[in-house]
């Protein structure tokens, strides 16, 4: 692959802009300053740098983000900043999208990718990838709350009751709940239908991928391997 096309595929601008990066001495390939934007480069296991920042070539960009409160999972946010603003410009430029959505006030694990097939597989209800949430409740709860959620609750505009996949009351006002759909405000609406209210919501896991404890709010990292 020509170097300018490779840089373009990784989100560093148009082909013309990428050629200019090379000509201005801002690009190195495998530790060596690049001079020819038309040079043929093997992308396999490629490490390159732009303005001294190191990148690894990826056909698709897939990453995890610890979403803080106050961000919308949208490229066109209406009331708050876009969660995409937490990412470097090249990742935004190559078109990574959130896999599903978290409400602006919901925190926790958010996956993003520019792999459309992967996005569909992880977010489609047909594939039923479980999502684990930790909910802080407004009212003290007991075991009957989990019984209702596991038995299924009726949500407005839904044709049939929806049940939690798993449910556990960790404390009087702390609930861990696992769902396999991704409906609008689903956990909040389910808890409300069961007679309580969610005051705060945090996503702990998607499939078997758990939010790393050392990934601080607002931070991201590359994801190697697909949650199942």
Number of neighbours of residue 83 by Cβ within 10 angstroms: 25
How far, in Å, CA of 159 to CA of 147, rounded? 21
Q: What are the structural domain ranges in the chain?
A: 3-56, 62-125+209-222, 130-206
Question: Where does the pLDDT of residue 76 fall: very low under 50, low under 70, confident under 90, or very high at 90 and above?
Answer: confident
**Stretch 21-50: mean pLDDT:** 96
pLDDT (average), residues 71-88: 89
- Kindly state the percentage of the chain with pLDDT values over 70: 98
103 is catalytic: yes
pLDDT classification of 133: cutoffs 50, 70, 90: very high
Q: Which pLDDT does position 226 carry in this prediction? A: 65
Per the document, the length of the chain is 228
Among residues 36, 45, 51, 103, the one annotated as catalytic is 103
74 versus 47: which is more confidently predicted?
47
Q: Mean pLDDT across the stretch 94-106? A: 93
**H-assigned helices in the chain:** 3-9, 15-23, 89-93, 116-123, 143-151, 186-193
Are both 62-125+209-222 and 130-206 of the same fold?
yes
**What distances in angstroms separate CA 136 from CA 102, 188, 201, 202, 216, one per listed residue?**
16, 10, 6, 9, 20
227 has a pLDDT exceeding 90: no
Looking at residue 228, its pLDDT comes to 57
Q: How confident is the model at residue 79 (pLDDT cuts 50, 70, 90)?
A: confident
Q: Show Cβ contacts of residue 89 under 8 Å, excluding neighbours closer than 6 positions.
A: 11
pLDDT at residue 152 tops 90:
yes
When the candidates are 3.40.50.720, 3.40.228.10, 3.10.290.10, 3.30.43.10, the CATH number that belongs to 3-56 is 3.10.290.10
**pLDDT, averaged across the chain:** 94
H/E stretch holding 29 reads strand 27-29
Percent of the chain with pLDDT over 90: 85
Task: Average the pLDDT over 15-42 and give the result.
Answer: 96
Residue 167 tokens read as 């449910």
**Mean pLDDT, rounded, for 71-84:** 88
What average pLDDT does range 123-148 have in this prediction?
93
Mean pLDDT lowest among 15-24, 49-58, 116-125, 199-208:
116-125
Residues 130-206: name the CATH superfamily: Alpha-L RNA-binding motif (3.30.70.1560)
What pLDDT score does 157 carry?
Answer: 86
Top-level class of domain 62-125+209-222: alpha beta
């Amino acid at each position: 692959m020509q170097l300018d096309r490779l840089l373009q595929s990784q989100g560093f601008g148009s082909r013309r802009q990428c050629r200019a990066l090379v000509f201005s001495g801002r690009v190195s390939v495998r530790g060596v300053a690049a001079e020819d934007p038309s040079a043929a480069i093997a992308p396999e296991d490629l490490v390159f740098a732009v303005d001294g920042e190191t990148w690894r070539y990826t056909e698709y960009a897939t990453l995890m983000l610890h979403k803080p409160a106050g961000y919308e999972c949208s490229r066109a946010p209406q009331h708050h900043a876009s969660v995409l603003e937490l990412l470097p410009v090249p990742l935004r430029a190559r078109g990574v999208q959130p896999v599903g959505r978290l409400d602006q006030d919901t925190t926790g694990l958010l996956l993003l990718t520019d792999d459309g097939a992967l996005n569909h597989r992880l977010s489609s209800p047909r594939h039923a990838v479980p999502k684990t949430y930790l909910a802080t409740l407004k009212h003290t709860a007991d075991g009957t709350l989990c019984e209702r959620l596991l038995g299924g609750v009726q949500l407005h505009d839904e044709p049939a009751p929806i049940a939690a996949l798993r449910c556990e009351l960790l404390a009087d006002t702390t609930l861990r709940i696992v769902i396999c759909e991704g409906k609008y405000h689903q956990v909040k609406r389910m808890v409300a239908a069961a007679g309580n209210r969610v005051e705060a919501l945090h996503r702990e896991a998607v499939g078997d991928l758990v939010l790393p404890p050392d990934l601080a709010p607002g931070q991201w990292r590359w994801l190697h391997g697909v949650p199942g």
